[in-house]
Chains A and B, each alone.
Chain A
Amino acid sequence: AQKVTQAQTEISVVEKEDVTLDCVYETRDTTYYLFWYKQPPSGELVFLIRRNSFDEQNEISGRYSWNFQKSTSSFNFTITASQVVDSAVYFCALSENTGNQFYFGTGTSLTVIP
């Protein structure tokens, strides 16, 4: 079974629109960590955020915000006023306290049209 599901394979938005990327995870651990990474066309994965399971406070960083809801096992990522430079593939990932690896979703490809 997939531990991290990113149901949106591809999304296109027009510049300045807001866009939300969905991430649903599955774990039995009470302590776990969630991550978002950005993969621009160059290929390198860029770390965006890390949250632990005990901190459900939403986080905002500039135009980026994250909504963590344990009740629905979701960790969604919103880009406000999207820009062309936001075009990339975004990955959500889960790591469990009892495990030894990250579990990545299959990614959401975001295209921002000028």
Chain B
Amino acid sequence: DGGITQSPKYLFRKEGQNVTLSCEQNLNHDAMYWYRQDPGQGLRLIYYSQIVNDFQKGDIAEGYSVSREKKESFPLTVTSAQKNPTAFYLCASSLSRTGSTDTQYFGPGTRLTVL
């Protein structure tokens, strides 16, 4: 089945640790995105990538880093610099690299909790 997978589903981190969230897609989509969702709020864009080896900061990139070495993979690292990382993280992808007007399809999400 084509789709987007995220792992792990739940992740616990101690303060001061970096953690990496995985996102893989087999839809052959060019663009990929990372969003953060806090309780009762909408989605906020962290980073996006429209092509391999290129990515752009979104609205809340501080304390996060990404890489896009392969078309199908877009891992997100939550660094110790992120002051309040407890949240639900959603990865998405869309077909075209030429803009954001394509439909974005989402993975099942990773719930990160800092202990």
Contacts and interface: CB of A to CB of B under 8 A. Distances in A.
Interface of A: 4, 9, 32-33, 35, 37, 42-47, 50, 91, 95-97, 99-102, 104-107
Given A44-B108, A99-B100, 10 more contacts: A33-B101, A42-B108, A43-B88, A43-B90, A44-B106, A45-B92, A47-B105, A100-B48, A101-B58, A102-B45
What are the 6 closest A-B residue pairs judged by CB atoms, nearest first?
A: A45-B106, A104-B42, A43-B109, A106-B42, A44-B108, A104-B43
B53 interface: no
B40 interface: yes
Interface hub of B42, B48, B105 (most chain A Cβ within 10 A):
B42
Contacts, number: 62
Contacts of A102: 43, 45, 100, 104
A95 B48 contact: no
Interface string B22-62: 00000000000100000011110100101000001010000
Contact of B111 (A33, A43, A96): A43
Contacts of A44: 90, 106-109
Given A97-B99, A102-B100, A43 B108 contact: yes
A95 B41 CA distance: 18
B103 A101 contact: no
Contacts of A105: 42
Contact of A95 (B100, B106, B111): B100
26 contacts: A4-B42, A32-B101, A33-B101, A35-B103, A43-B88, A43-B108, A43-B111, A44-B90, A44-B108, A45-B92, A47-B106, A50-B103, A91-B42, A95-B99, A96-B101, A97-B99, A99-B100, A100-B50, A101-B33, A101-B48, A101-B58, A102-B43, A102-B100, A106-B40, A106-B42, A107-B41
A106 B109 CA distance: 18
Nearest to A49: B103
Contacts of A33: 101
A107 B104 CA distance: 17
Interface hub of B50, B106, B108 (most chain A Cβ within 10 A):
B106
